[in-house]
Structure 1
Amino acid sequence: MEINRAAAPYGGVYITHLRSEADYFLEAIDEAIDIGTTAGVPIEIYHLKAGGRRNWGKASQAVAKIDSARAAGVDIQANMYPYTAGGTGLTACFPPWASADGKLFDNLADPDARMRIRAEIENQTTEWENLCTLSTPEGVLLLGFNSPDNQRYSGRYLSDISEELGKDWIDTAFDLVLDERQRLGTIYFMMSEENVAMQIAQPWMKFGTDAGGMDPETARGLTHPRAYGTFTRILGKYVREEGATTLEEAVRKMSSAVATRLDIKNRGLLKEGFFADIVIFDPSTVSDHATYEEPHQVSTGVHYVLVNGVPVVSQGEHTDRMPGRPVYGPGWTGWAR
């Protein structure tokens, strides 16, 4: 709360990853609204979603709650990525205390602590959200293996690996994390396609990848396809094929709406005096090709990309030019922008 109050005079925005995106989803939105309105700052919910089949019905309730707050004068918006799966570590299936003080691996190696972790997974009594139960083991896709001996598991589901090893999914998750000595990158299928399309249509929604940029020529291993396909997936699948929103609205939600929300000056519009950040694409062919099995696939239908007026993609090919520059928000007090 105090951090948001301090940010308010500088045009700051309360950007929140909700406390809950599943069982306490609606309560978490109430909390975000309370924090933002009390502190006097706009509210931005990052990658809005209702996780777990039992919570899919809450997505429309969340939209109604946000609409109601906006009608009452609350400045609240959200953003999202256009996929039914999210990504984080396999450790999201363990209670938070298991990782406290850097003792995760010690706890997984200790029979008594391991029994306590299992008991809490099987009979959860606290508010932490177990992504393995929300997705079910059949919807937990493992990616981020480092050990050569474990590479055969990459791109396979937790249920499949458990069956091969002759263990239940809980022991399998324990042993894989312990053997890897890391959180183990994981994709969780826990959202519905209907909710994705419904959220895309909301006028206060914006689009983002929730992923880092990657070079398809040097990238190794699996990753979430959103790193490559977010924007072209919206333009192709959700605009051209499904009509979830208009082309004009989709472009606005991934350009000027973002720049305006973050108060990034002179960007986001094709306007004299603005930086020339321009994407030229064919709306009749633009398509994403990245999949969960083959994520390092670039999109097609994008012919030119200019960053600060310099072509970085020309006739669909990267030019190897790097004209990027820092982008500053409203609180920046350093050198002139």
Structure 2
Amino acid sequence: MIHFHKIFKNKLLFLLLISNCTSFSIFAQKYDLVIKNGHVIDGSGNPWFAADIAIKNGKIAGIGFYQINDALQIIDAQKQIISPGFIDVHTHVEDAIQKLPTADNFIYDGVTSIITGNCGSSEVNLANFFNELKQIQLSINVGSLIGHNSVRRYVMRNVFRDPTPKEQTQMENLVEKAMKDGAVGLATGLIYIPGTYSKTPEVVGLAKVASMYGGIYASHIRDEASKVKEAINEAINIGREANIPVEISHFKISSKPLWGQSNFTLNLVEKARLEGIDVNIDQYPYTASSTNMGTMLPSWALADGDSMVHVRLTNPETRKQIREQMLIGLKADNRKNFDYAFVARYKEDSTLNGKNISEINKFLGRKTNKETEAELIMDMVDKGGAQMIFHKMNEDDVVKILQYPFTMIASDAGVIQFNKNVPHPRGYGSNARVLGVYVRQKNVLRLEDAVRRMTSLPAQRFKIDNRGLIRVGYAADIVIFDENKVIDKATFEQPHAYSEGINYVLVNGIPVLENGKHTGRKSGEIIYGKGKIE
């Protein structure tokens, strides 16, 4: 006989119990966080659409419309833009991110993922590097290339010669180990020592190894000035011979006589793509570059370490030869002096930071001429050198390169300590500058296309799975910004200023920037390349 009164009594007791248990599954919120009332630009280049974004366990769990009781936390986007987090594929953070793990300058500019190890300079032991970053925890996702310069220096130091077959094999083995440890590809800096001493076949050999493990070849090409065309063709040829995708870093024209020829250099890239060679480019949206002072000297003068550089710079005949080559280069660039070169960081005398070479020359009471300025540069290099900013580009070329459909936005910056030195403003405002200046003010790009260049294009290019798009199942790396207010505030004169108009940044579903303020939270992950072996 069925006792209906007992069944009813037990059911009532059950309902009373679960009504007092807020964590029980049928009453728990479905999502950790929901972003409501936003205009979604999904990163694909498609037009924005109205939708809410639901997030659970660090992933995008839904795109639609939700109730406020569907989540533990609600963010009201107030009809601002919701986009994927920006991916900066050209950074240099090896020397600073351990001390500045919150990466504030990147986060305030909407960047949620970075690729370091560019221009041929990386940690050689990437397994140790990645483990160190996981130990300290970061506010940002980090991946790395393996740097040719670092590998060559590890095997050969800074010698000016070709590698022996044994040394070539040693370098290739180091690249292979790095790819297995999770590198996303090989990077060269063929304007820097010791990479500048290498010939194309050496690089092809290393690129072939990276290609075997699904990597990319990213290059600061051998020349960005008078021989920029030859340098682009070399990068393309390396891609052809190694059967590897090519990324030409911070694409530019840094030679005054060649201003206006960006159409020609872009056509070299387009021609290669039509041939079937996978070539893309990235760019920072400024008319000045930033690199070390040593690049102002002929590369042979920097060989074999600091002690030999000192010997050359203190030998009258050799010093004269170096100066003459510097002045030949100055004349070839159609310049009368070195006033285009500004000091960003000079350890020997920080009072010179922010001044150009001509100003420093006068400040020190030297004769006002290009010969004396060249002497000043050699003196500073002999005392350890400096980080420089070079105003050598033309705005029209910057715009033309920016409009090329396969151009990504990349800062070429490191993690910056606020109010220290006089760095390039690109480290604070590259993405906000594109959105505020080139989209809103100059109408050079559509908003949706600009976002594509910062999100899905770099993710696709560097084979970063599940990031770069607003898609269900993708990592919840998300930026919320006001398209009418977003702007860069950093200038060359006052570079230490965070971007404005970027109000929320989520890294793996965790708000790292909230109401325009860094929360200090560290939810970043390591981005591993396709060749990673567990």
Q: How does 1:34-73 map to 2 (within 5 A)?
A: 34-73=237-276
Q: Please say if residues 44 and 76 of structure 1, whose CA atoms lie closer than 8 Å, have aligned partners that are also in contact.
A: yes
Q: Distance in 2 between matches of 1:42 and 1:265?
A: 17
3-state secondary structure, aligned to 1:156: coil
Instruction: Give deviations 1:12-60, integer Å, cap 9, x for gaps.
Output: 2121111111111111111111111121111110110110211223311
The corresponding residue for 1:85 is 288
Do the aligned partners of 1:143 and 1:223 also contact (CA within 8 Å) in 2?
yes
Alpha-carbon offset, residue 134 of structure 1:
6.8
Tell me if 1:109 matches 2:314: yes
CA distance in 2, matches of 1:328, 1:130: 45
Q: Give me the CA root mean square deviation.
A: 1.9
Match status 1:273 vs 2:473: yes
| d(CA) in 2 for partners of 1:94, 1:9 | 36
Between Structure 1 and Structure 2, how many residues are aligned? Answer: 324
Q: 1:93·1:131 contact (CA, 8 Å) conserved in 2?
A: no
Are residue 229 (structure 1) and residue 432 (structure 2) matched? no
Residue 83 of structure 1: how far off its partner (Å): 0.7
2:139 aligned with 1:139, yes or no?
no
* Residue in structure 2 matched with residue 239 of structure 1 by the alignment: 439
State the alpha-carbon separation in 2 of the partners of residues 304 and 131 from structure 1. 47
User: Which stretch of the first structure deviates more once superposed, 238-247 or 162-171?
Assistant: 162-171
1:192 aligns with 2:192: no
The Cα shift of 1:154 comes to 1.4
Select 2:493's aligned residue among 293, 301, 308.
293
Percent identity, aligned pairs only, is 36
Q: Secondary structure at the match of 1:47?
A: coil
TM-score, with length taken from structure 1: 0.91
Tell me the distance in 2 between the aligned counterparts of 1:240 and 1:155: 30
Distance 1:135 1:84, change over 3 A: farther
Q: CA deviation at 1:113?
A: 2.3
Change (3 A) 1:329 1:6: same
The residue that corresponds to 1:154 in the other structure is 353
Rounded to whole Å, the distance in 2 between the matches of 1:132 and 1:159 is 17
The 1:62/1:134 distance shift into structure 2, 3 A limit, reads farther
Q: Does 1:257 align with 2:457?
A: yes
Cα distance in 1 between the residues matched to 2:386 and 2:493:
17
| Range moving further from structure 2, 167-176 or 33-42 | 167-176
In structure 2, what is the Cα distance between the partners aligned to 1:61 and 1:136? 28
Q: Distance in 2 between matches of 1:193 and 1:293?
A: 18
CA positional deviation for 1:90: 1.6
How far did residue 67 of structure 1 move? Answer: 1.5
1:229–1:299 CA contact under 8 A, matched in 2: yes
Q: Shift of the alpha carbon at 1:194?
A: 0.8
Of residues 207, 220, 236 in structure 2, which corresponds to 1:17?
Answer: 220
- Aligned to 1:269, what secondary structure does the other structure show? coil
Look up the match of 2:527.
Answer: 327
| Cα distance in 2 between the residues matched to 1:139 and 1:17 | 21
Q: Which has the higher contact order (CA 8 A, sep 6+)?
A: 2
SS of residue in 1 equivalent to 2:476? coil
Asked whether the 8 Å contact 1:135–1:190 carries over to 2, the reply is no
TM-score by length of 2: 0.58
- Structure 2 gap segments, 5+ residues each: 1-203
Counterpart contact for 2:255–2:333, Cα < 8 Å: no
Amino acid corresponding to residue 350 of structure 2 in structure 1: Q
Secondary structure, in 3 states, of the residue corresponding to 1:303?
Answer: strand
SS of alignment partner, residue 304 of structure 2: helix
* Deviation string, structure 1 residues 255-282 (Cα, Å, up to 9, x no partner): 1111111111111111111111101000
Aligned equivalent of 2:376: 172
Q: How far apart in 2 are the matches of 1:299 and 1:236?
A: 10
Q: Which residue number corresponds to residue 505 of structure 2?
A: 305
Deviation, 1:130, is: 9.8
